[in-house]
Amino acid sequence: MTPDKYTIKEFFLDVGDNHQLYVQDWGHKNAKHPVIFLHGGPGSNCKDKHKMNFDPKTQRVIFFDQRGSGKSLPKGELKDNNSQKMVEDIEKIIKELKLPSVVLTGGSWGSCLALLFGIKYPHRVHGMVLNGIFTARKSEISYLDDGGFKVFFPDIWDKYAASAPKEYEHNPSKYHYKNIFGEDQGLSKKSAYAYSEMLEGPLLNLDDRYESESFEEFDPDATKIELHYLKNKCFIPEGYIFENANKLTMPIWLIQGRYDMVCPPITAYELSKLLPNSRLIWSVSGHMISRESWALIKLLQEQAAN
């Protein structure tokens, strides 16, 4: 993410554990309820295109790259990189910028991190606008690792299965996880690439015209961070968010694509029934939500910040 004329300031925040987060404070400095944008992944980063979903003349948005991601340092670091640390990082950013309360917004892993923060620090959260809901339950993670999507994308699953030796054809993720965190850097990159190709193509975009990134240009760090979390069930107990949903009493809007092949829609539906003050809005889209859905999210973000 690059600074522009609406950037209030950008800086690196030392959050301890040898981690420094890249932060960009952007938009209208005196906005009533600043927004904190939480990117997905884990392992992804904030991008310039994310600014398009906000109005810098009326909103103040804090963007930051999570531990090991994007411009944050050390790049790709897995040590002391877990959900509990991430939650505290958000609190440290809020304290650093002297923000009394914030609106949290994000999708996929970003939605999970927002919910985790809201459970720990409910007094800090004025509201949430979330999409592509993910809560890190075992069923949600195994849906990807075990190919729950293959009834819709059998060819994608077969290609992924073929990237592992025949003895792993029914469980290719086991093979790739082993390699990704092994000592052979060549095998590690090959397995990270195979997993990324399975996830980042048609599953995310619902578009078979997706062009693969070349293996030579592929950076495995983001995938390693993501699978570091997934193999550890995102470092939270099974069903933790569902069991603590009653603590999330602030207004929460959930926007969920009916055809999300990465975060099954049933998660958003089941969670919405437990949240005390939520509204679930269905979108005719996949994991990468449509332009119309982004317009809706922008409207809800503005509403939540008032």
Residue 92 domain-assigned? yes
Catalytic-labelled residue, pool 69, 108, 163, 285: 108
H/E stretch holding 141: helix 138-145
Look up residue 258 and give its amino acid. Answer: R
Per DSSP, the three-state class of 252 is strand
Number of structural domains the chain divides into: 2
pLDDT tens, residue by residue, 164-211: 999 998 999 999 999 999 999 999 999 999 999 999 888 988 888 788
Summarize the confidence of residues 250-256 as an average pLDDT: 95
Please check whether residues 80 and 30 belong to one and the same domain.
yes
pLDDT band at 303 (very low <50, low <70, confident <90, very high): confident
Residue 194 shares a structural domain with residue 243 = no
Q: Which residue range forms the structural domain that includes residue 228? A: 143-234
If asked whether residues 92 and 129 sit together in one domain, one would say yes
Q: Considering 111, 173, 260, 283, which one is annotated as catalytic? A: 260
| Close Cβ partners of 238 (under 8 Å, ≥ 6 residues apart) | 137, 138
Phi/psi of residue 141, nearest 5 degrees: -75, -45
Q: Supply the CATH number for residue 54's domain.
A: 3.40.50.1820
Average pLDDT, the chain: 94
Q: Which amino acid makes up residue 291?
A: R
Q: Give the span between the Cα atoms of 61 and 290, in whole angstroms.
A: 22
Residue where one domain finishes, among candidates 234, 259, 274: 234
Q: Is-catalytic flag, 108? A: yes
For residues 272 and 280, give the distance between their C-alpha atoms in angstroms, rounded to a whole number.
Answer: 6
Q: Which of 69, 145, 287, 293 is catalytic?
A: 287
For residues 17-22, average pLDDT: 98
Residue 219: count other Cβ atoms within 10 Å of its Cβ: 14
Q: How does pLDDT run across 210-233, given as a tens digit for each residue?
A: 888 899 999 999 999 999 999 999
User: Quick check: is 287 catalytic?
Assistant: yes
Total-model pTM: 0.95
Which of residues 234, 258, 283 is at a domain's end?
Answer: 234
For residue range 95-154, list pLDDT tens digits in order.
999 999 999 999 999 999 999 999 999 999 999 999 999 999 999 999 999 999 999 999
Question: Does 15 lie in the same domain as 123?
Answer: yes
| pLDDT at residue 31, rounded to an integer | 92
pLDDT above 90 (res 296): no
Q: Give the Cα separation of 273 and 197 in Å (integer).
A: 34
Is there a single domain that holds both residue 208 and residue 258? no
128 in the same domain as 244: yes
Residue 293 predicted with pLDDT over 70: no
Last residue of a domain, one of 234, 250, 284: 234
11 & 121 share domain: yes
Same domain, 26 and 102: yes
Q: Considering the domain boundaries, does residue 1 fall inside one?
A: no
Residue 262 counted as domain residue: yes
